[in-house]
Amino acid sequence: MSTKPSVGPMCTRDSLASDLRAVGLRPGETLLVHSSLSSLGWVCGGPAVVVSALLDVLGDGGTLVVPTHSGGNSDPADWGNPPVPEAWWADIRASMPPFDARTTPTLGVGVIPETVRNWPGAVRSCHPQTSFAAVGPRAAAIVDGHALDCRLGERSPLARLEEGGARVLLLGAGFDSCTAFHLAEYRISSPQGDNSFAVMTAQGRRWATVRDVSISADRFDELGAAFEKERPVVRGAVGGAEARLFDLADAVAHAEGWLREHRPHTATTRGH
């Protein structure tokens, strides 16, 4: 057991819901949340309480969406943190468990998305690396049809969120976590590359390689700072976390122009 003192503020389901309402969350809306549990302070009840507070504010008519990414299901030749010996690559490709929307855990997106993934009634899109999970009346329509060769583009939940007028909540997370910016990458002259993963098909497990946009969060922090100066972004505190709330479509539109101007079209960055 840790002997370190707990760091506040102390947050409860009611206090978090009150803070979320004060920031501007509305009943009945569709909300994409990027989050950091530790940024909130000491949460009485842990991540499930955060999810409950979000659902309390959204109400029965609202839909909560989170990234449930699992980027470890990828080509070991691209791994750098840490890399693995080249002698292992063939065996990894042959042995990597195929993506299963019901059981594949999240990776690198925090404990709140993992909690939503396991929430009663949650549904999840079927991309092996960049899935999203959702709870609420619009959940199934948002996650349906996530194409294997479209991580975060027109045939991903991001485009469905844009069509549905969703907003984004950065809850203790920075703009470098804002997946909406990736949708803009698909709408400009972005480089493409091969993307590989293990999937389950009607014929069984297979290692698949598709052609897709080479997504990258490079300079998203700068993009976010520029967006915040020029477009409406509501800022406030939720517990100990800084929160930002804004329209997803607005973020995508701004990112299209900014990326065309500031990111070289010849870049070959790969990402998962």
DSSP states along 86-137 = GGGHHHHHHHPPPP-TTTPPP-SS-HHHHHHHTSTT-EE---TTT-EEEEST
- Does residue 270 lie within any of the structural domains? no
Q: Is 259 a member of any domain?
A: no
* pTM reported for the whole predicted model: 0.94
Residue 109 to residues 18, 181, 193, 254, Cα–Cα distance (Å): 25, 16, 24, 24
Q: Which pLDDT score, from 0 to 100, does residue 8 have?
A: 80
Amino acid 210 reads V
Provide the pLDDT for residue 265.
60
* Alpha-carbon gap, residue 214 to 186, rounded angstroms: 9
Q: What's the confidence (pLDDT) of residue 7? A: 76
> CA torsion sign, 201 to 205 to 206 to 211?
positive
How confident is the model at residue 6, as a pLDDT? 75
pLDDT for the residue numbered 1 = 53
Contacts of 56 (CB under 8 A, 6+ apart): 13, 17
Instruction: Confirm whether 5 is domain-assigned.
Output: no
Which tokens belong to 83?
């890399």
Domain range spanning residue 161? Answer: 10-248
Q: Give the whole-angstrom CA distance, residue 230 versus residue 163.
A: 22
Q: Number of folded domains in the chain?
A: 1
User: Which secondary structure element, helix H or strand E, spans residue 35, and what is its range?
Assistant: strand 30-35
Contacts of residue 201, Cβ cutoff 8 Å, sequence gap at least 6:
none
Write down the H helix ranges in 164-238.
180-185, 220-230
pLDDT at 20: 98
Stretches where the chain sits below pLDDT 50 are 266-272
Domain membership flag for residue 239:
yes
